[in-house]
Structure 1
């Protein structure tokens, strides 16, 4: 019931986004991450507003790019795809960079995709990126967000 309430709140907030917010976020700070030998150039969504918009309204994204959602503390994170046009895979990531679980997400749906346990990070990449690279739950990401863990 709690998750449904959160999703309903997010749906209401997204519906009230001003017209200017209905543009893709293209100028967020970036961080270099790695999954083994694979490099990732990730935009960082670190504020509530940045996380709420995420990759909405994006029509394309280069294969080596993604978006890292950073939350203040670990908790169960649930994502959905309203106003998101790209098929994505979400990697739910623990503080030490370990991928807890992966979820393929269909564009423009309100299906909920949640972390299997509390996490602080979620990395969204083009759908199929993790599978093509052979990266599964249990693999570790490296980069500045995970250095102090």
Structure 2
């Protein structure tokens, strides 16, 4: 067996291990908050919501992740294994922001919706404040829950 063949076989054998640590691929939808457009990855399944933005080293300026819950619920978020400081907006079923919380990286503190939420939108920390987006602002383009 030639050395190049051995290297190929070894690289092929290691490929699945490397893919475990790759960033997950989530569907992306455009959302709007007033005049601002957000490119939001969608976490719609339990597995996607559990993974969230864990292990990401950065987040583009107008990128985020929207967590879609199957029905309005009292939801809380935390930052375990999340490396980027984030702000989360909890959103009702009509798209209106209920409350916004800032979250520190790699903490397990709970950050909860002020009332029943259908969505949570995570953005870089301070994004909502910088854009003067507050509770009561409507986020348009949110995906619908599958019933």
TM interval, shorter chain, is 0.7 to 0.9
Compute the TM-score of the two structures, normalised by the length of structure 2: 0.82
How far apart, in 2, do the equivalents of 1:87 and 1:105 lie? Answer: 6
Matches within 5 A, 1:1-149: 22-25=21-24, 27-145=25-143
How far apart, in 1, do the equivalents of 2:19 and 2:78 lie? Answer: 21
- Whether the 8 Å CA contact 2:76–2:113 is kept in 1: the answer is yes
- Whether the 8 Å CA contact 2:95–2:142 is kept in 1: the answer is no
Compute the TM-score of the two structures, normalised by the length of structure 1: 0.81
CA displacement at 1:43 relative to structure 2: 0.3
Aligned residues: 128
CA displacement at 1:19 relative to structure 2: 8.8
Whichever of the two has the greater Rg, that structure is 2
What is the RMSD of the two structures over their aligned residues, measured on CA atoms? Answer: 1.6
How far apart, in 2, do the equivalents of 1:120 and 1:22 lie? Answer: 29
After the TM superposition, which segments of 4 or more aligned residues of structure 1 sit over 6 Å from their partners? none
* Runs of 5+ consecutive residues of structure 1 not aligned to the other structure: 1-17
Aligned to 2:4: none
* Runs of 5+ consecutive residues of structure 2 not aligned to the other structure: 1-16
- Whether the 8 Å CA contact 2:96–2:139 is kept in 1: the answer is yes
- Whether the 8 Å CA contact 1:34–1:141 is kept in 2: the answer is yes
How far apart, in 2, do the equivalents of 1:131 and 1:79 lie? Answer: 19
How far apart, in 1, do the equivalents of 2:53 and 2:84 lie? Answer: 8
Q: What secondary structure does 1:108 align onto?
A: coil
